[in-house]
Amino acid sequence: MSQEKLGALVFVSGGYIGQLETAVRVPQLDLSKRIDEALSTGGVLERLHSLLGFTRFSDYFEHASDHEARALTISEYAGQIVPGVLQTPEYARALFLDAGTIWTEEQIVANVASRMERGQRITAPDGPELWFILDEAVLRRVIGSRRIMAHQLRHLAEMARLRRMVLQVVTFEAGAHALSGLLCLMTFDDAPPLAYSESAYAGQLLDDPQMLAKCHRAYDLTRATALSARASLAFIQSIAEGYESGKHGSAANSMA
């Protein structure tokens, strides 16, 4: 049976069936059941779904990066560090140096180069639509040095001014909000949406509709507590100026 014919029977595109065949994507449980029925497998795919789980990976980010490269839209929240696709080379290098892991110089150079290539691809004019929400802690945590931070924040501000992305900041004054850590929401032209969340040494790709609905609601609630794009740009520029002048201004002063 062709990919297009099977896709028509189970209400997805032929291209998405191709992604299932090559293990780029994993079918949701309800889709597994529909494919079982269409192919008269006796429930094989449903049983595999239950047995294998499909959500956690040892090389977790490699899988998320594959999907990121195919995304139509990317909406990300970062609570600790600048998202990888927005990092400058100096900031990325400082992260690798300070991570507590023993890297050789060759490994650090290769890792930074890989991260820069990924960032250039995602933030290119023909890349996905981007929306980032950063916690104020991302801007205040000094990675490498104040000079590196000033350059990094100027880079963020420049990308926001060029309207390559929507960028918002959740300030400390906003208090508690719905997200922490890292959450990335992705939509695709020919496949169901995904969410990616990450904690220390572990990441999860989520495609369950109920879980995705919770992730989107948390993202929307956090977006509602954030500064506007214009106010966020001014806030970032103010903190960058503080790094450049040797002053680490308060949130209240930055908002003034």
How does the average pLDDT of the chain come out, rounded? 86
Q: What is the rounded distance in angstroms from the CA atom of residue 84 to the CA atom of residue 119?
A: 7
Give the whole-number percent of the chain exceeding pLDDT 90.
49
For 154-222, the DSSP string reads: HHHHHHHHTTSSEEEEE-GGG-S-S--SEEEEEE-SSS--EEEEEETTEEEEE--HHHHHHHHHHHHHH
Q: Are 118 and 74 in contact (CB under 8 A)?
A: no
Per-domain residue ranges of the chain:
3-52, 60-255
Q: Where is mean pLDDT largest: 40-49, 57-66, 89-98?
A: 89-98
Residue 92 has what pLDDT?
95
**Four-point Cα dihedral 45, 46, 51, 56, nearest 10:** 80
Q: What is the rounded distance in angstroms from the CA atom of residue 128 to the CA atom of residue 194?
A: 14
**pLDDT of 107-135, one tens digit each?**
899 989 989 998 998 988 889 999 999 99
Residue in the structure block whose two tokens are 């497998």:
41
Residue in the structure block whose two tokens are 């209240």:
252
pLDDT of 198 > 60? The answer is yes
What separation, in Å, do the N-terminal and C-terminal C-alpha atoms of the chain show? 64
pLDDT of 62 > 80? The answer is no
Q: Which whole number is the average pLDDT over 52-64?
A: 50
**pLDDT of 125-174, one tens digit each?**
889 999 999 999 999 999 999 999 999 999 999 999 988 899 999 999 99
Q: Which whole number is the average pLDDT over 55-71?
A: 63
For 116-165, the DSSP string reads: HHHHHHHTSTTS-EEEEEEEHHHHHS--S-HHHHHHHHHHHHHHHHTTSS
Q: Are 140 and 248 in contact (CB under 8 A)?
A: yes
**Four-point Cα dihedral 13, 17, 18, 23, nearest 10:** 140
pLDDT of 200 > 60? The answer is yes
Q: Are 218 and 145 in contact (CB under 8 A)?
A: no
Q: What is the rounded distance in angstroms from the CA atom of residue 33 to the CA atom of residue 120?
A: 39
pLDDT of 181 > 50? The answer is yes
Q: Which whole number is the average pLDDT over 203-226?
A: 92
Q: How many CB atoms lie within 10 A of CB 153?
A: 25
pLDDT of 94 > 60? The answer is yes
Q: Which CATH class is domain 60-255?
A: alpha beta
Spatial neighbors of 16 by CB under 8 A, at least 6 apart, are 7, 25, 190, 191, 192
Closest CA to 166 of 197, 119, 139, 134: 134
Q: Which of 171-175, 203-207, 209-213 has the lowest mean pLDDT?
A: 203-207
Q: How confident is the model at residue 22 (pLDDT cuts 50, 70, 90)?
A: confident
pLDDT of 55 > 60? The answer is no
Residue in the structure block whose two tokens are 């029977």:
9
Task: Name 76's bridge partners.
Answer: 132, 184
